[in-house]
Amino acid sequence: KAYRQAGALDSSPELVARLAAQYRAIGDAEGERALLERFLRSNPSDLQARRLLADLDAANGRPQAAATLYRDLLAVLGPNDASLQIAYAQALLALDRPDDALGHARIAYRVQPGNPLVVNIYGYIALEAGATEEARQILEKAVALLPGNALAKQHLLEARKALRDQG
């Protein structure tokens, strides 16, 4: 209740971001959505709020809404934001568009080839898109960057198995 009251008094982008984080921390996705949508009605060009809403949509099973927002953000910000590219790639993969997803994952990787999160997700998307040799190479790097990450190791094993099955 206190956060809603504060939001009614001050709707600066900084406060909205803090309030959104608080809603997220308590697991109130609907409260976060209402806050962001209300803010965006008055501030439709606020890129941070649009990104927060896209991330919220992606996390809550709304890949089409997330993909639309990510695409629009990329149109404004350009292609050199690796985290935005990889988020868009994940939304596209969730929409069963693996080839498009792979294209954006490759861009993210070109922008930040040493980012462990980008490398791991790129490898997974390559695997899902059927680019198994590419996936194997990238996932080997992901495992090297994230040696304790069981999911990266599992994806690498899946890529190696897929290559054996093809050969």
Tell me which residue of 34, 26, 1 sits closest to 16, measured CA to CA. Answer: 34
* Number of separate helices (H) and strands (E) present in the chain: 10, 0
Tens digit of each residue's pLDDT (9 = 90 or more) over 101-144 = 999 999 999 999 999 999 999 999 999 999 999 999 999 999 99
Q: What is the pTM of this model?
A: 0.89
Rounded Cα–Cα distance for residues 46 and 69 (Å): 12
Q: Give the tokens for residue 162.
A: 């897929």
Dihedral of CA atoms 29, 69, 35, 57 in degrees, nearest 10, equals -10
Q: What are phi and psi of 26, to 5 degrees?
A: -95, 5
Q: What are phi and psi of 139, to 5 degrees?
A: -70, -30
Q: Give the tokens for residue 28.
A: 């109130």
Question: Would you state the pLDDT for residue 12?
Answer: 84
| Contact between residue 39 and residue 46 where contact means Cβ atoms under 8 Å apart | yes
Question: Would you state the pLDDT for residue 15?
Answer: 87
Rounded Cα–Cα distance for residues 49 and 4 (Å): 16
Question: Would you state the pLDDT for residue 2?
Answer: 64
| Contact between residue 73 and residue 51 where contact means Cβ atoms under 8 Å apart | yes
Question: Would you state the pLDDT for residue 10?
Answer: 55
What stretches in the chain show pLDDT beneath 70?
1-10
Rounded Cα–Cα distance for residues 55 and 70 (Å): 9
Rounded Cα–Cα distance for residues 84 and 80 (Å): 9
Rounded Cα–Cα distance for residues 22 and 4 (Å): 11
